[in-house]
Amino acid sequence: MPAKIVSLINMKGGVGKTTLAVGLAWELAKKHRVLLVDIDPQFNATQWVVNADTYLTWLKTKHTVLNVFQPQALNQAGGGTTPPIKPTEKTAIIPVKHNGKTLHVLPSALDLMKLDAAPRGTENRLRVFLDGVKSNFDFILIDCPPTASLFSYSAFLASDAYLVPVKPDPLSVLGLPLLEKAMLDYEERSGQELLRLGLVFTQVRQTPAMEATMREVRLQYAGEVFKDTIHQTTGVAEAVEENKPLQYFDRQGKFPEVKAALTGICAEFERRVREKL
């Protein structure tokens, strides 16, 4: 069966999309063939999973998601001289190993920023590329930027469903109606609907304000919010710096709750995909 493709999307920035995308991707990779697609020009997911030396070497001769959108483009920020050929699984997907598990990454690049004035039809190129590789994977996760942009729209067109990471503070949840409106716009533009797989609370702290917000969101999106939540924790920056998945970055047993949460979120994700897709 070809991969199920799920975008992680929220128009509010800094809510934990990338942290959830990377954590969930590594968790799924324990049992499945997983591709993580980074379509954010800030390439935070790429930076987390792929170490700097590997990435810089890759940029010199291989492709990034920029070439998926624009095959002839150069990754100039990395001094690249990428051949102007169509990107393939071999030239555009980096296999990364950790603890004996492999996660595949379609990396992003800063140069993606230049794509703003792309020709019509560019929004379909990610879907076409993923159509070509999806028989080799079980799950494809797309980490989106916090903008209603060409990138988010191309992720919409390429996906079977989307997942919404939500930081449950009163101001961040103001982004939810905005996201719903953006998704409606996409549905109108494309003539197709996209299933919302659910909402996941991220960067949770046990404060009265956050608990009240979580109660409200659980009421408003009844049955849609995942049971497990990702708590605010220390060490995320260090895990990123060391290119380690959060669930393996368990220095002195400091993050058992994040590890357990990711296991729970992953199981619920698999169940929802099985039942709904």
Question: Which does residue 95 touch among ligand ATP, Mg ion, none (CB within 5 to 8 A, set by kind)?
Answer: none
Neighbours of 32 (CB within 10 A): 16
* Interaction partner, residue 15 (Mg ion, ligand ATP, none; CB < 5-8 Å by kind): ligand ATP
Count the Cβ atoms, other than its own, within 10 Å of residue 242: 13
Q: Which stretch binds Mg ion (CB under 5 A): 11-19, 24-32, 88-96, 203-211?
A: 11-19
In the complex, the residues that contact ligand ATP under the rule CB under 6 A are 13-19, 40, 44, 145-146, 202-203, 230, 232-233, 236-237
CB of 113 to ligand ATP, least distance (A): 14
For Mg ion, what does the binding mask look like between residues 12 and 31, x meaning CB under 5 A? Answer: -----xx-------------
**CA angle at residue 255 from 230 to 143, to 5 degrees?**
40
Closest separation in Å from C-beta 215 to ligand ATP: 20
DSSP code string of 67-86: HHH-TT---GGGT----SS-
Write each residue from 33 to 72 as x if it is in contact with Mg ion (CB under 5 A), else as -, in one continuous string: -----------x----------------------------
- Alpha carbon distance 41, 52 (integer Å): 16
What's the CA angle centered on 80, arms 78 and 82, to 5 degrees?
145
Q: 245 contacts which partner out of ligand ATP, Mg ion, none, CB within 5 to 8 A by kind?
A: none
**Alpha helices (runs of H) in the chain, residue ranges in sequence order:** 17-28, 44-49, 52-61, 65-69, 89-92, 125-133, 150-158, 175-190, 208-220, 236-241, 256-276
Output the smallest distance, CB 260 to ligand ATP, in A.
Answer: 13
Rg of the chain in Å (alpha carbons): 18
Binding site for Mg ion (CB under 5 A): 17-18, 44
